[in-house]
Amino acid sequence: MAELSLETIMLRYQRALSRRRPWEALWRDCYAYGQPQRGAGFGAEFEPARNHAERLFDGTAPDAVEQLAASLLAELTPPWSQWFGLVPGLAVDPIARPTFAEALDHATQLIQGHFDRSNFAVEIHQAFLDLVTIGNATLLVEEAPLGGISAFRMTAVPMAEMVFEAGADERVQGHFRQRSLPLGALMTLYPDAELPRAEKSAEASDPSRCVRVLEAVLPCQTGCSYTAMMLDQGNRPVVLGQGQFASSPFISFRWLKGAAEIYGRSPVMTALPDIKTVNKVVELILKNASIAVTGIWQADDDGVLNPANIRLVPGAIIPKAVGSAGLTPLQAPGRFDVSNLMLDDLRGRIRHALLVDRLGPVAGQRMSATEVIERSNEMTRLLGATYGRLQAELLTPLLVRAVGILRRRGELPDLALDGSTVEIRHKSPLARLQARQDVQNTLLWLDASARLGAEAMQAVDLPATARWLGERLGVPGQLIRDQVPSDLLDALPALALGQDA
């Protein structure tokens, strides 16, 4: 496939940017009330260096955003825990499955070790913060330089720099990233780039001068094409580097997606009216409190009392004319006690929209087994649609990209993650909830079959059942025997009934 011209790339970028602009005002509001300390970068008034907390008077929404992002990290990609696995697919010969499963377990541990030693936990948490706030997030997965402790280098890309290009089915297929880089860093990233004469002289005199850089990763027949260009004041592109990727290094994922939309929606957008209302009510309460503390005063203009020189501090002596009223307080026309009734209801709705009351920490010291099961079922119901989307848009592309990097470095063989030869099995706490339900149903069936007698148990393939239970519970492949001893087969009916073998 022929390389795309710079004019074509710029035209596609402008078209994709026009689809993002209607969302920017809403994103600014979500950042202002959900992550005020970060700043969205969608305009000068929202630069990260500015103190946006001065506009925020209630911390319910920022606290809920941080708790939901932390819950996603713990439920989807828990740090220092195996949240995925590689297992043989259906196309693998049953005779070769045990040996192949053991090799895939070794590959899983190798990949997990690179994830644990990289900055994945730090960057994915930042991406989850963006996901909860504006409904979109992008994780850049690059290959680290040789000699490092990990083969992966992760970067949570701010959405102010990212522009998505939609495919025919409204999925994210192309990525554009526009950012500002100092000339010194530009020459480090692209040492072979041919800069114009003006930029070369500027780089020699002032390496800290910043220029705009546009990176485009667009789909092609052999994977993804990569083009990096520098933009001058007239948006004239200068090529910095070109190449190809087997899979896109940009992994974009969304919280909730509407029909015919490429950008996602967030829980903060759902709760934004309540968040703004709470913020305004607290602001009015603080103003009313300041009036209640300092008061509103009136004084006669008697030629002696000068209101401009009065300071209401303890021990102050305020002069007045003989026979005049001096300085007297002015009574407020009403009270603002009704605000407390509104705040509790509004803050409860904000926590409910951001799932704090469902996924938050346990209030009591102990929970019964029934409470644990009901809490797990509620979590599955609430995050079922979101987890399905994150599994398709984040977890699976992330593992495909990680396997590609390790295969390129020669640390892994050529594994085909196509579902038939090698299957990705997610083992995060949220993914294991459904597996536990399947195991419970199977154990219930075994218990019922054992109660029917030995003739009913003859219809049960006990070795296959034991292997299936081990796979669903995430047991390593080297611990599962291909043949189960006969004495264990005889003991399984009693074990199913809870008796001593």
What would the pLDDT profile of 61-96 be if each residue is shown by its tens digit? 999 999 999 988 988 898 888 899 898 888 888 888
Average pLDDT over residues 442-470: 81
- CA dihedral sign of residues 69, 71, 73, 77: negative
Amino acid at 247: S
Identify whether residues 12 and 100 lie together within a single domain.
yes
Q: Let me know if 159 is exposed, middle or buried by CB neighbors in 10 A (0-12, 13-18, 19+).
A: buried
Task: Name the DSSP letter for residue 480.
Answer: S
| Number of domain units in the chain | 3
Q: Is residue 98 part of a domain?
A: yes
The yes-or-no verdict on residue 323 having pLDDT over 50 is yes
Please tell me the distance from the alpha carbon of residue 252 to that of residue 182, in angstroms, as a whole number: 26
Average pLDDT over residues 392-398: 92
pLDDT at residue 330, rounded to an integer: 63
Identify whether residues 178 and 248 lie together within a single domain.
yes
Q: Which two tokens stand for residue 313?
A: 């501090």
Q: Is residue 361 part of a domain?
A: no
Question: End of a domain among 339, 356, 386?
Answer: 339
Identify whether residues 284 and 227 lie together within a single domain.
no
Angle at 167 between CA 164 and CA 172, to 5 degrees: 40
Q: Is 18 helix (H, G, I), strand (E, B) or coil?
A: helix
pLDDT at residue 414, rounded to an integer: 85
Q: Is 118 helix (H, G, I), strand (E, B) or coil?
A: coil
Average pLDDT over residues 147-164: 93
pLDDT at residue 500, rounded to an integer: 46
Range from 94-103, 149-158, 304-313 carrying the lowest mean pLDDT? 304-313
Q: Which two tokens stand for residue 346?
A: 């509004």
Whether the Cβ atoms of residue 227 and residue 4 lie closer than 8 Å to each other: yes
Residues in the chain: 501
Identify whether residues 212 and 297 lie together within a single domain.
no
Identify whether residues 484 and 442 lie together within a single domain.
yes
Amino acid at 176: F
The yes-or-no verdict on residue 255 having pLDDT over 70 is yes
Question: End of a domain among 339, 366, 394?
Answer: 339
pLDDT at residue 377, rounded to an integer: 67
Identify whether residues 212 and 307 lie together within a single domain.
no
The yes-or-no verdict on residue 41 having pLDDT over 70 is no
Domain span at 167 = 6-56+77-268
pLDDT at residue 425, rounded to an integer: 85
Identify whether residues 281 and 222 lie together within a single domain.
no
Question: End of a domain among 339, 358, 374?
Answer: 339
| Nearest Cα residue to 481 out of 97, 152, 172 | 97
Please tell me the distance from the alpha carbon of residue 253 to that of residue 159, in angstroms, as a whole number: 11
pLDDT in tens, 380-391: 677 777 888 888
Q: Is residue 314 part of a domain?
A: yes
Identify whether residues 330 and 263 lie together within a single domain.
no
| Nearest Cα residue to 265 out of 501, 22, 430 | 22
Identify whether residues 234 and 285 lie together within a single domain.
no
In the chain, the percentage of residues whose pLDDT exceeds 70 is: 76
Q: Is 164 helix (H, G, I), strand (E, B) or coil?
A: strand
Whether the Cβ atoms of residue 326 and residue 305 lie closer than 8 Å to each other: yes
Identify whether residues 124 and 45 lie together within a single domain.
yes
The yes-or-no verdict on residue 115 having pLDDT over 90 is yes
